[in-house]
Amino acid sequence: MTTYESKTADEVGEYFDDRSWLFGLSGFNLHIGYFDDESPGTDPKERHTQVMIEAAGLGAGERLLDVGCGFGRPAIAAAKATGARVVGINVSLEQVRQGEKLAEEAGLTDQVTFEQADGMALPYPDNSFHAVWASEAIMYMSDRPQALREIERVLVPGGRFVLSDYAERTDLSAEQRVALQEGFTVEALPTLEGYRQLLLDAGLEITRFEDATPHLHRSAARIPEVLDEKYAYIAERGGKEFADEFKAMLSKVGVLEGEVLGYVIAVGRKAEAGA
């Protein structure tokens, strides 16, 4: 069996700290878009967050844990939409600080908090959250089964875990694995069925499992446009050599996303007490 190297939580945090300014290119919403043709006026990234909120099924006063919360926009959106109390965690201290700033600007510091924490060792008691979600976060975990076990542990009985993440659909070539590592810091991803098994092995009942690969492909198609629009800014901020290297790397990522990788959205439910 082939094994692949993974970065530690600290290394992933440093990676995102160093590149935080680059993520402003996507409006600080780091996940892919969800293209709802019935609501063409909705920004696809915002619609992705709405899909997560709908799947979490939260009510006012319930608690949501956002694992790998990015800059915090989805967490804040969830709090506004549902009245839930939200905790966002991230291994990137810079992104935690940005999340805190956004929560303050939104007047939600009593409802939304952000903390630096490792998703594989959650610092919360058992049965702490009515829902947990992880959007493009499990892919970075060096021990993904442990991360899923931790999520199941902190969920209340009957609580819901919402996953959205990249997946492998086919065997990657050596060159594609290099592009994956350069673009995402990982050498391998679970397959779609691999994610299904991770959820089941963690003791979660799967209530939704969507192959959302078409949404990844449509997101990837936008990469060249974004690169062209933002090239001058990247060159000004990081220098022309860096801008050219970044453009070449992101072009390879665009090929991976548009032709090779897949995407999954899934919901797992923790068993009721005594079940």
Q: CB burial class (10 A; 0-12, 13-18, 19+) of residue 107?
A: exposed
Note if 136 is an active site residue: yes
Name residue 4's amino acid: Y
Annotated active-site residue in 11, 54, 100, 136: 136
State the residue for tokens 């805190």.
Answer: 100
How do 129-135 and 261-270 pair as beta strands? unpaired
- CA 56/CA 45 separation, integer angstroms: 17
- CA 159/CA 124 separation, integer angstroms: 15
Reading the block at residue 179, the tokens are 């592009």
Rg (C-alpha) for the chain, rounded Å, is 18
| Cα separation values, 71 from 97, 215, 263, Å | 8, 22, 21
Of 140, 178, 191, 175, the closest CA to residue 31 belongs to 140
What residues act catalytically?
A: 136
